[in-house]
Structure 1
């Protein structure tokens, strides 16, 4: 397809979202649903302007989805302004660890017992589908750093954390299939892929976010430097955190989320944001804490563009997906049983209301993150015998999630807000 035509289609979508965003916010239709339809329209199922295939374009798709997820994870970290010692963190931590492990276990059981997959392929499918998506879940996440709502905080934290904590599961699945070295009895997997990679990712991200935040604050306060460059700071910190973490054999996703979180908290400790970010008058003190808010504002725009690109690509890929009949029962099992049950297991006696638990159990949105892990597996030794099954089931879950969660998010969240703030 001609590059100019791609630009015209992308520009039309961006203008449509800019002009009709407030209207869409009131309708049971998400922007992701419109992007999906746009992808279908320009693909072989519509105007046939492009015909990419997932398996053949797996390398390009892995890097594209990787960048999109990184932008979203950094934004999620910047939104989490609650202190690390706050009890609100218990819910997202439980969801990202206990609920994710329960999800993997349940998918693995279904894969072995009902899909006829070997253990490694079933575990890999669990790792691909376990993480909730930080890209497509913006409508149910924290929309302001001052937001302290437990539902949105839990979903934001879960999406930021479990895209990193799912990586050890993916590596274990590949290892059981013979595509990754896990060591005798899994010792190497536990030592390197779980303990070291997780700790290194979090440490690198926290150190860079804190260090760079303090440096920028120092330059602004003492020398009135480093002003008005939030776009460079945002992309630079994402690149540094991800690159150094991966070079250190850590998880770059966790590093980027931790970097955003550390930058937000470093700015908050300096002083609360007060004024719009602008170059101060000569001799005046630069507003120090506004750096995190300005970076977040810039990154949110990139995040939205990434969402558009990723979901349009999903729509373009649907024509060549090897759909499997098992999707008819697997998708409902995933969304209506596995997710609510894993949330019930993970939250246990957490301080959440029954309504919040039900909504958390429903809004286990799958999307760009699952597509990334699928492409990663395809590019790192997934046996050809299991490609069609994993591709078909993953795409079925992702597309269904985009549609059903897109339709339900507006009315359900509106009802939740009415319950939380009753009329006086």
Structure 2
């Protein structure tokens, strides 16, 4: 495809999505399904106008997916309710840690015994497909911080956390393949890749988010006429937290999500506001002045970053569609996707939520809506860039692309009817 053709294609797609946004909300389909279908049509499965090779373009795809995930993690983080409490966050934490670990284990066993992959490759495959996706799961994400739906909150928070907590398993898989140092009996992996990288990532994010929130509030109270480019502050926070994390070998995805959560929490606390942006009481208002509306960084930057997230989604899903051939849909790949969707994910979710007060219908839906997407592609490209052997890389690319494409289609078709039915059942019980 020529440059002109690409611009025409993207421009036409943006116009179609822009004009049909309200219609798409009323039908059992998602915008990602539209992008994927267009990718099928113009790619090798259709007119063959272009073919994107993930192996040859792994460096480019790693960069694109990395940026998309970072923006999406920020958007998810600033919509998390404040204050952060263990009671509220218990379910998503168990999903992001316990359930994801179980999924990695189940997929590794399936990959080793049924797909005949080397042990390291099987563990790596588990790490690639285990985390749920914050980019493509927009239909099951919280709409805003005051969204009362526990299911959407659990899935959004899970996606924000496990995109970082999956990294230790990626490194474990690479280590078992001889591409990363694990240390004696895995001690280095446990201390550096699990304990240090995870803790440091969360700590860096919390400190960065608090610092930005505090500085903005301090400047606004000291210099009343201060104005900020909130969108730039949001992007700056993403880049700063991620860069510091890379510098000290911490997990940057966790840092960005934590920074976004800390930013929102800090801004609300320092402004004397509560979860629903309630105005301070008369006793809290200084000098009897009427409370004034404040343009918070986390609010103002969210809209801009969500638009960037949508643009990244369009490009990346088009590339996914343009990477698949008709013979990509082998029984081996489709069978693996079925195992992940219908066995590994539901089992791991139900076990992970043992001991919680989550109702059974919420557990069932959480077990079904484990959307896989851009995050999985990033981890795989990251592994390829770290020396993954070509034969294994091609095999994992094949399996991962089919899983992501089927997730877009199957979860996309079922999400709206399932969520609507879930809400009806809740209302009938209440």
TM-score normalised to the size of structure 1?
A: 0.94
Kindly indicate whether residue 325 of structure 2 is the aligned counterpart of residue 302 of structure 1: no
SS in structure 2 at match of 1:317: coil
What is the aligned partner in structure 2 of residue 280 from structure 1? none
CA root-mean-square deviation: 2.0
Deviation for aligned residue 1:294? 1.2
What is the aligned partner in structure 2 of residue 46 from structure 1? 46
What is the aligned partner in structure 2 of residue 145 from structure 1? 145
Change in CA separation of 1:254 and 1:39 when aligned onto 2, cut-off 3 Å = same
Alpha carbons 2:45, 2:326 under 8 Å: kept:
no
Alpha carbons 1:241, 1:252 under 8 Å: kept:
yes
What is the aligned partner in structure 1 of residue 335 from structure 2? 329
Distance 1:8 1:263 in 2: 39
What is the aligned partner in structure 2 of residue 235 from structure 1? 235
Deviation for aligned residue 1:322? 5.4
SS in structure 2 at match of 1:421: helix
Q: Which runs of 5+ in 2 are unaligned?
A: 280-288
Q: How does 1:65-84 map to 2 (within 5 A)?
A: 65-84=65-84
Distance 1:423 1:291 in 2: 39
Deviation for aligned residue 1:388? 2.6
Alpha carbons 2:172, 2:189 under 8 Å: kept:
yes
What is the aligned partner in structure 2 of residue 279 from structure 1? none
- Per-residue deviation, residues 335-383 of structure 1 (Å, max 9, x unmatched): 0010000001111121211111110000000010101111111111212
Deviation for aligned residue 1:314? 0.8
Q: How does 1:365-380 map to 2 (within 5 A)?
A: 365-380=371-386
Deviation for aligned residue 1:12? 2.0
Deviates more, 1:172-181 or 1:284-293: 284-293
Deviates more, 1:317-326 or 1:370-379: 317-326
Deviation for aligned residue 1:260? 0.6
What is the aligned partner in structure 2 of residue 350 from structure 1? 356
Distance 1:321 1:95 in 2: 34
Change in CA separation of 1:8 and 1:348 when aligned onto 2, cut-off 3 Å = same
What is the aligned partner in structure 1 of residue 131 from structure 2? 131
Q: How does 1:83-98 map to 2 (within 5 A)?
A: 83-98=83-98
TM-score normalised to the size of structure 2?
A: 0.92
Moved runs in structure 1, 4+ residues, more than 6 A?
283-286
How many pairs align?
417
Kindly indicate whether residue 220 of structure 2 is the aligned counterpart of residue 214 of structure 1: no
Distance 1:186 1:10 in 2: 47
Distance 2:3 2:335 in 1: 40
Q: How does 1:10-409 map to 2 (within 5 A)?
A: 10-224=10-224, 227-269=227-269, 270-272=271-273, 273=277, 287-288=293-294, 290-319=296-325, 324-409=330-415
Deviation for aligned residue 1:303? 1.5
Change in CA separation of 1:321 and 1:88 when aligned onto 2, cut-off 3 Å = farther
